[in-house]
Structure 1
Amino acid sequence: MKAFILAEHQDAARELCAGARSMADEVVCVSIGDLELPLGVADKVLHITLPEGAVFDDAADTVVAALDASGDRVVLVEPTRRMKVIAGKLAAHFEASVITNVLSFDGAVATSLYFGGVGIQAQNPCGDISFYTVGQGVFADAEASGSNEIEDVAWIEPQVPLKLVSVHSIEKTGADLNKSDVIVAAGRGFCEESDLDMARTLCDKIGGALGCTRPLTEGLDWLPKETYIGVSGLMLSPKVYVAAGVSGQMQHMVGCNRAGTLFAINKDKNAPVFKQCDFGLVGDIKDVLPALAAAL
């Protein structure tokens, strides 16, 4: 069996290749555009060069051709927006389904969340090709290996290509939470934007990065969208997670429930977060955070 890896980022490619090593005889990583893979992570690297003016999503037709020639296959996908589009196109071509947000594997059976994280289900794909989107941390303990033999793949023009009208960069002002071992997450318990300085001070004290729940990004625009943690945002597995003023609704907690140690601070002793944390402190963040920062 072959395992194909679709990833946009080096760290994700390394981890998925490492995990695939235990699932298949050959690991093949697909590199689209300017992705440069770390050394020794796959047996083969299929490099797809994007023609000038081409859109990343249109590489799906070229990937289909690469997968068509193989027998039994498993495809592990980094769950970025663009890779999700490509995975969907591939699955449609092969008349298969994509099992999303996988938390763990037992052979071919994948365990994942559903209904916004309120339930867990185990699924076994049918057919000779399987598609999974797999987030950070699932294969954290696996070791990658391989010769990284590079093969250039000829571009196949899609039947219905997208037209690139313009490109502009979006400035990212937040830290890369995927690479942070310590995260402080601010919730709706922060009543004013200026209160976030308390969370930032705590971050400075413990070497952490600042994240948040959805309302602080999409409702209030207090923090960048790339810092939103939850079912439709980031799915993280840091060593330490501090939930400050976070109620603990499942839609948020699925993004952090794989943390090594989870601390919670909330003034409501009945907040759901206290049923899911390792250590909880009942108190107003305006009292607790300054005192905690001073003690540290």
Structure 2
Amino acid sequence: MKALVIAEHTDAARELSAGARTLADDVVLVTLGEAPAGVADKAVAVKVPEGAVADDAYVTVQGIYDAEAPAVVLAEPSRHVKSVLGRLAAAANASVITDVTAFTDAGATSLYFGGVGERVRKAAGDVVFYTVAPGTFEGLEATGTDVVEEAAWTAPARPLALLSSREREKSGGDLFKAEAVVAAGRGFAEEAELDLARALADKLGGGVACSRPLTEGVDWMPAGTYVGVSGLVLSPKVYVACGISGQMQHMVGCNRSGAVFAVNKDKNAPVFKQCDFGLVGDIKDVLPAVTAAL
């Protein structure tokens, strides 16, 4: 059996290729950009031309898919890759099983209803398409050829037009790799108070994330740092929710953490029913004290 891996980022390409090796005999990797060597039996890089949009890579990837005829397709859940994967699945008259967190003989375990529940599903057709959550194949080592081919770009009949672009603000370290994450919420009254969360994260050797209002409400944090149902789904060893009420939309993004700590001045905040350790208090008092103690 052959597996096709579609990824945009190097880390995802390595992890998915390692995972694909547990599901198939042959692994073919396709990347939207640079492809790492030594992680698949065949690696193909699809270089997006200047002025083109990565979503339009679906025509090029479709050609690779047709030539390889895989039985299973594993995809990184990035926006561009999901756009390409959806078109591939539609052309194959198939559906995509999304947000997969584990593979067993019974099928693929995935999240649903905003991440509140889990279900196990199997594809009914000959080819199965998955988007796979980061960390699903953590610890597996990828192997393969050191040769990376470059696919010739084939533009669609009606390509997207790139009207403008801007550099995206970087969020610091990779939150998916962080063993500790300190998350800030609306309990922070002003932007300058975020330094309290940053100081604690530095002590823990981790990264800083946030709830959605701090990115889309007041624009204090980069859009790629908010945790929740439509944002990041993280599983660090330690997650510290600071000034976060604990609504379902946020907690589904961190409930796979090894331990969840919560700091909130409202003793009735929902987060205290979902954390492992809770401390009732004002973040302006608690965070400096904890940081100093560490």
TM over 0.5: same fold? yes
Q: Which runs of 5+ in 2 are unaligned?
A: none
Change (3 A) 1:75 1:108: farther
Using the TM superposition, give the Cα deviation of residue 72 of structure 1 relative to its aligned residue in structure 2, in angstroms: 4.7
Aligned match of 2:35: 36
Aligned match of 2:277: 279
Q: 1:211 aligns to what SS in structure 2? A: strand
Quick one: percent identity of the two aligned structures?
A: 62
Query: Superposition pairs for residues 37-76 of structure 1, below 5 Å?
Result: 37=36, 39-76=37-74
Aligned match of 2:22: 22
Q: Is the 2:2–2:71 Cα contact (8 Å) retained in structure 1?
A: yes
Aligned match of 2:214: 216
The one-letter code of the counterpart of 1:13 is A
The one-letter code of the counterpart of 1:4 is L
Q: Which runs of 5+ in 1 are unaligned?
A: none
Using the TM superposition, give the Cα deviation of residue 168 of structure 1 relative to its aligned residue in structure 2, in angstroms: 3.1
Larger mean CA deviation between 280-289 and 58-67 belongs to 280-289
Q: Is the 2:171–2:225 Cα contact (8 Å) retained in structure 1?
A: no
Give RMSD over aligned pairs. Answer: 1.9
Q: Is the 1:4–1:30 Cα contact (8 Å) retained in structure 2?
A: yes
Distance 1:96 1:71 in 2: 14
Distance 2:287 2:166 in 1: 38
Q: How many residues align?
A: 294
Q: Is the 1:29–1:45 Cα contact (8 Å) retained in structure 2?
A: yes
Correspondence 1:228 to 2:194: no
Distance 1:253 1:285 in 2: 19
Q: 1:133 aligns to what SS in structure 2? A: strand
The one-letter code of the counterpart of 1:36 is A
Query: Superposition pairs for residues 1-296 of structure 1, below 5 Å?
Result: 1-33=1-33, 35-37=34-36, 39-107=37-105, 109-296=107-294
Q: Is the 1:174–1:224 Cα contact (8 Å) retained in structure 2?
A: no
Larger mean CA deviation between 167-176 and 200-209 belongs to 167-176
Distance 2:19 2:44 in 1: 18
Larger mean CA deviation between 200-209 and 1-10 belongs to 200-209
Using the TM superposition, give the Cα deviation of residue 137 of structure 1 relative to its aligned residue in structure 2, in angstroms: 0.8
Distance 2:61 2:284 in 1: 52
TM-score for the superposition, normalised by structure 2:
0.93
For residues 59-111 of structure 1, what are the alpha-carbon distances to aligned partners after superposition, in whole Å with 9 as ceiling and x for unaligned? 10111121123445211111111111111111111111111111111137222
Q: Is the 2:35–2:148 Cα contact (8 Å) retained in structure 1?
A: no
